[in-house]
Structure 1
Amino acid sequence: MDFDLQWLLLALPAAFLLGWLASRYDLRQLRDEEKASPQAYFKGLNLLLNEQQDKAIDAFIEAVQHDPDTSDLHFALGNLFRRRGEYERAIRVHQHLLARADLKREERERAQHALAQDFMKAGLFDRAEEAYLALEGTAFATDARLALLNLHERSRNWRPAIEVARQLEAAGTGSFAARIAHHWCEVAQEADARGQHEEADMALAKAREAAPQNARALVLQGQRLVSQQRHAEALRLWDELMAVNPEAFALIAGDYAKVAQAAGPEAAEQALRKLDALYGQAPSIDVLQAANSLQGDATLRRARLHQHLQTEPSLTAAQGLLRERLNTGVSLSNAELERLQESLIKTARPLQRYRCAACGFESQRYFWQCPGCHGWDTYPPRRLEEQ
């Protein structure tokens, strides 16, 4: 009995010593890991600031290996992968975060938003839509709806886009009236292409209801009336466009003059007076040419062109003036005038384009939605030579 007690007395200090040594070892190991993790993190941050993204990714991966439970490191790594176009790796990082049971609600929502962005960048629109819809009711709800709106527009899903735009308006994000009107115009054009004319009429009516002064809806409605030989109605509708948006009227000024001629002499005379008045209000080469196409007096046509060249130099106007001179006969020979006219046409062609005010995308055709930046109404309704 005395022997057993002696060994017990000897074992207690030994066990205490071993426990103390073990704790010191664990503390040292933990301290080393904590030291290694911040070093790797700050190294990655420094490399990122120096725009050395490849090395920064390696440093963040090292930091994540030292501290796999730190969500901020995972977010930094996932964002780097997305910026580099490595979308599959970014998706795996954010999916790994979402799979963690210990993730806080705020960080889970953040990971869901990041995953939706990954899918969007990767072109996986169906999965991106699901991911954004899962953010409803979270702090990222507004950002998700804006992203969904862009997604539906890129996919040309106009009715879902209308619904999302309405939700954004209801949430107080801002006015989306003009955007919704464009969506309904797209619906109308698709319906016309399918031969569903009643649906097209309804869509255009909703476009005007959403934005009464939207130029596109009035343009499309007038064009549809012209195709049905309802010239008088088309003229009345475009008269409304002339009143509410005189600058945008230049887009259909030539068509307006042709329809007025088709409607008869009285309609053509009234259209000429209105075009002259509009030109005085909002000078435009398109309006001028439309008016001249209805003007039978060559002297008045030349006077208008000459005045336009004095106030707003334009190669297109110069071309028109030379054409008038060619038709009426002047001191220059016809051959010389024709060569000069050809030269003017060639010079004017690059300037007879529209340019997006947001991204600079240029085109001979006017776009309601820019093919470059996908913005709506970013094209001023004036050609480059008039800007």
Structure 2
Amino acid sequence: MLLELDLWWLLLFPAFFGLGWFAARVDMRTVLKQAKAVPTGFFRGLDALVEDKTDIAASALAEVARQQGSALELQHTLGKLYRKRGENDRAIRLHQRMLDAPDLPAEHRDAVRFELAQDFRKAGLVDRAEEILIKLQDGNMGLAARRQLLDIYQQDRDWHKAIATAKELRSDAHSFQHEVAQFYCELAQGELYKSNSEQARRYVEEAFAANRKCVRASLILGDIEFAGGHVEAAIAAWQNIEKQNYEYLSMAAERLFDAYERMDKPLEGIALLRGYQKTFPQLELTDLLYQKIATYEGEEKALEVAREGVHARPSLSGVYRLIEAQMDELSPEGRMDAEVARALVLKHAQRLSVHRCKCCNFRSRAFFWHCPACGEWEGFTANRSESQ
């Protein structure tokens, strides 16, 4: 019995191999047939895209789209290409024609509407884009639509709508707690500018509820307390930054000194900042400390502290301050040489000393909570760097 079974298997093996060979031949013929059916203009457009020749690619793909009629994927690609090239009117017309087509499958309509909304937004017609995206929130494009709406509300500085949308977008992957806290801080800052301290305080509380480690909320809370004459409470709020993220202490340094100065305790303020400088040498405190110590303890002591700071955290701005502090001790000839060196150091310090976005590496002399390039919140370095 076993022998008969082995013979059957020997007979079946060639049959299996033959069927596999036949299937491979059929698949290959199908692939070759489909490849021959693809218009040459498609490959010409694809090659132009690889070479970043978007004008040639747009022209070639438009010709293929006209030949193919209702090739949805190709028309989607063409619309995105128009939008990338800034030809927003053409992208809008293309997507509107697609929506007007009676043979457009219902399951593709939301995707086309989403593309049309992006066309309107790119063209500056934000209201029309928002109108479409709001209607898409309950469909299969809901998540993508809400993300686009969040970008629009941030761009328009409509922080209440931004908060509501961010809360709807919360998920296990992204809680949006940093963003929501920043939106409340924007509202609090606006109320503080209008001297509405109580409303500003309520928004700060909401920011802390979203993110207990929100440094900006601590800065604003300190400003509220200081404006109300509660100096010790302001100091406590600003000192809380050390627990949240010590890198931002340099942004509170001058505020802290002003608070101690208002209490007629400037030397305590200087001692606090010197403690921060020794504990966190990466903080930008040398220039501020030099000015305050020179005022209250004399130039010699200020120079000593500046030298300590520069040795702990070498920087062009620190070297500039060291040269300036020692100018009076030099001979007339030496002072002229030092002046040339000081001017050169200052020139390069101003060019190189920038804040950087840790997400996209955008550089700016000014600090931003919201990166103008990539839109990330809290992405900017609190202390400037001098690297290229």
TM-score by length of structure 1 reads 0.79
State the distance in 2 between where 1:236 and 1:85 align: 51
- Tell me the secondary structure at the aligned position of residue 381 of structure 1: coil
Q: Could you tell me whether the CA contact under 8 Å between 1:208 and 1:214 is conserved in 2?
A: yes
Q: What residue number does 1:212 align with? A: 212
What's the counterpart of residue 240 of structure 2? 240
Confirm or deny: 8 A CA contact 1:367 1:379 kept in the other structure. yes
Contact 1:60 1:77 in 2 (8 A): yes
The residue number in structure 2 matching 1:283 is 281
User: How many residue pairs were aligned?
Assistant: 349
Q: Give the CA deviation at 1:36.
A: 8.0
| 1:274-315 deviation digits (Å, cap 9, x = unpaired) | 323322221146334444525626554333322333332223
Residue 271 of structure 1 aligns with which residue? 269
Moved more, 81-90 or 66-75: 66-75
Does the aligned pair in 2 maintain the 1:215–1:241 contact within 8 Å? yes
Identity %: 28
Instruction: Indicate yes or no: 2:169 matched with 1:168.
Output: yes
Q: Which residue of 1 aligns with 2:86?
A: 85
Q: Is the 8 A contact 2:204 2:217 kept in 1?
A: yes
Residue aligning to 1:315: 316
Specify the code of the residue in structure 2 equivalent to 1:225.
E
* TM-score of the aligned structures, taking structure 2 as reference length: 0.78
Amino acid at match of 2:279: Q
Quote the residue 2:303 is aligned against. 302
Q: Rg larger in 1 or in 2?
A: 1
Q: What CA deviation, in whole Å up to 9, does each residue of 1:236-286 have, x standing for no partner?
A: 111111332211011121221122111122xx4443343233222211463
Structure 2: gaps (5+ residues): 1-35
Aligned to 2:153: 152
- Aligned-pair distance for 1:70? 3.2
Structure 1 contact 285–316 (Cα < 8 Å) conserved: no
Aligned residue identity for 1:181: A
Per-residue CA distance 1:330-352 (angstroms, 9 max, x = gap): 35459928836852444433344
CA contact (8 A) 1:254 1:289 kept: no
Q: Which runs of 5+ in 1 are unaligned?
A: 1-34
Answer whether contact 2:188 2:201 (CA < 8 A) is retained.
yes
C-alpha contact (below 8 Å) 1:226/1:234 kept by paired residues: yes
Equivalent in the alignment of 1:254: 254
Q: Match for residue 111 of structure 1?
A: 112
Match of 2:350 in 1: 349
1:306 partner amino acid: R
Indicate the SS of the match to 2:213.
coil
Spell out, residue by residue over 1:83-135, the C-alpha distance to the aligned partner (whole angstroms, 9 max, x if none).
Answer: 22111121122122222343323311221221122112112111111222222
Q: Per the alignment, do residues 78 and 322 of structure 1 end up closer, same or farther by CA in structure 2, a change over 3 Å counting?
A: closer
Q: Which amino acid aligns with 2:139?
A: T
SS at match of 1:128: helix
Q: 1:84 to 1:206 in 2, by over 3 A?
A: same
Alignment RMSD: 3.1
Superposition map of 1:22-41 within 5 A: 38-41=39-42
Task: Name the residue aligned to 2:379.
Answer: 378
1:81, distance to aligned residue in structure 2 (A):
1.8
Q: Is the 8 A contact 1:312 1:386 kept in 2?
A: no
Q: Distance in 1 between matches of 2:255 and 2:161?
A: 33
1:129-167 Cα offsets, whole Å, 9 max, x none, are: 122222223332222222111111111111111111111
Partner of 1:224 in structure 2? 224
* Contact persistence 2:281–2:312 (CA under 8 A): no
Q: Cα distance 1:222–1:203, how it changes in 2: closer, same or farther (>3 A)?
A: same
SS in 1 for 2:240: helix
